[in-house]
Amino acid sequence: MKNYLEMLIEGKSLQEQEMEEAVQGIFAQEVSDSEIASFLTGLKSKGETAEEVSGLVKAIRKHALNFPKRIPDVLDNCGTGGDGSKSFNISTTSAFVIAGAGITVAKHGNRSVSSKTGSADVLEELGISLDFSPEETEEVLEQNGIAFLYAPHVHPKLKQIMKVRRDLKIPTIFNLIGPLTNPVQLDYQLLGIYRRDMLDKFAQVLANLNRKRAIVVNGAGGMDEASLAGENEMVIVTEGEIKRIKLLPEEVNLPVYDNDSIRGGDARDNADILLHVLKGKKGAYRDTVLMNAGLGIYTAGKAESILQGVELAAESIDSGRALSKLENLISLSKQNKKAVG
């Protein structure tokens, strides 16, 4: 670690393999809290490269719970959080709509960090279990086409790093990489990020992680989701090829809404919003979900355009399939709790 810290102090970047080795040392508990803090602040001061982020992510995934089964064509649509928009749980609601369109979704997520309610908070409020084992999760994915992976449960060895992060009280690369560390083998990924300057870098990381197709999006107003408030910047990664585009609501036949119109509340409020959307209630919440679920459906290759993805998202809701995915997951969670009890 001493050599890597010296490199960072000198402004030198680590190769992907060097980054993996440094993080392996942290997991092996060969490194003190102060060294971890110096490492994270050194990376932040220098500016993390795509290779460094890729190495960090690969090391974290190696130490996550093992999900051995290779389920084909799985997508995650987890965002980084941290945009301060106080919006409802857009990606969580969208995940059920994407699953209702016939795409397998392994939704990675956590409790609230910057907003009132994280994905884990709202799902727990709805009665969904946060502690399925890897084998149970894989079974749920095959049975229901959607499962939730609670980050602290699937990454039990991150406790020392998380403690240092809390003590530092400044944003580090760990504020951004959560969606990249999903331990399920993903083919597709829709990743919302609150920092527009990191779009290209994260697109390169997703290319390094061999996604068949991925989209990194920064929404109007700096949201970590696609927004109906104006212009969305996104980068599409297809088999390693990277293309940057802009997307406006009118291009996919959706109205414009101010970001204030999609504010959420506590876990109960956001659970109600999620249920209302999946039950077909019209308005800003639904249209925002249509945009984001449409992007997910397009990412997974189920639609030939984002517009068609939005149309398929509306079908998923209006047919009741999206709500059915939620109800099935709640039912499977009850069975899991009975089995544990």
228 within 8 A of 288, measured Cβ to Cβ: yes
Interstrand relation of 213-218 and 188-192 (parallel, antiparallel or unpaired): parallel
Confirm whether residue 114 is marked as ligand binding.
Answer: yes
Question: Which among 218, 187, 186 is positioned nearest to 202, based on CA atoms?
Answer: 218
CA distances from 341 to 57, 335, 336 (A): 35, 10, 9
Burial (CB < 10 A; 0-12, 13-18, 19+), residue 12, is exposed
Q: What is the C-alpha to C-alpha distance for residues 243 and 137, in angstroms, rounded to an integer?
A: 33
Confirm whether residue 32 is marked as ligand binding.
Answer: no
Confirm whether residue 175 is marked as ligand binding.
Answer: no
Confirm whether residue 109 is marked as ligand binding.
Answer: yes
Confirm whether residue 30 is marked as ligand binding.
Answer: no
Confirm whether residue 119 is marked as ligand binding.
Answer: yes
Confirm whether residue 89 is marked as ligand binding.
Answer: yes
Confirm whether residue 133 is marked as ligand binding.
Answer: no
Confirm whether residue 338 is marked as ligand binding.
Answer: no
Confirm whether residue 82 is marked as ligand binding.
Answer: yes
Q: What is the C-alpha to C-alpha distance for residues 299 and 232, in angstroms, rounded to an integer?
A: 16
Q: If you write DSSP's letter for every residue of 53-76 in order, what string do you get?
A: HHHHHHHHHHTSPP-----SSEEE
Confirm whether residue 71 is marked as ligand binding.
Answer: no
Confirm whether residue 102 is marked as ligand binding.
Answer: no
Q: Which one-letter amino acid corresponds to residue 167?
A: D
Instruction: State whether the Cα torsion 145-151-153-154 is positive or negative.
Output: positive
Chain position carrying tokens 């249509």 = 290
Q: What is the C-alpha to C-alpha distance for residues 126 and 80, in angstroms, rounded to an integer?
A: 22
Burial (CB < 10 A; 0-12, 13-18, 19+), residue 111, is middle
Q: What is the C-alpha to C-alpha distance for residues 115 and 94, in angstroms, rounded to an integer?
A: 18
Look up residue 284 and give its two tokens. 């800003």
Confirm whether residue 272 is marked as ligand binding.
Answer: no
Confirm whether residue 18 is marked as ligand binding.
Answer: no
Look up residue 261 and give its two tokens. 């119109």
Confirm whether residue 269 is marked as ligand binding.
Answer: no
Confirm whether residue 85 is marked as ligand binding.
Answer: no
264 within 8 A of 89, measured Cβ to Cβ: yes
Q: What is the C-alpha to C-alpha distance for residues 99 and 12, in angstroms, rounded to an integer?
A: 43
Confirm whether residue 155 is marked as ligand binding.
Answer: no
Binding-site residue set: 79, 82-83, 87, 89-92, 107-115, 119, 165, 224-225
Binding-site residue set for anthranilate: 79, 110, 165
Binding-site residue set for 5-phospho-alpha-D-ribose 1-diphosphate: 79, 82-83, 87, 89-92, 107-115, 119
Binding-site residue set for Mg(2+): 91, 224-225
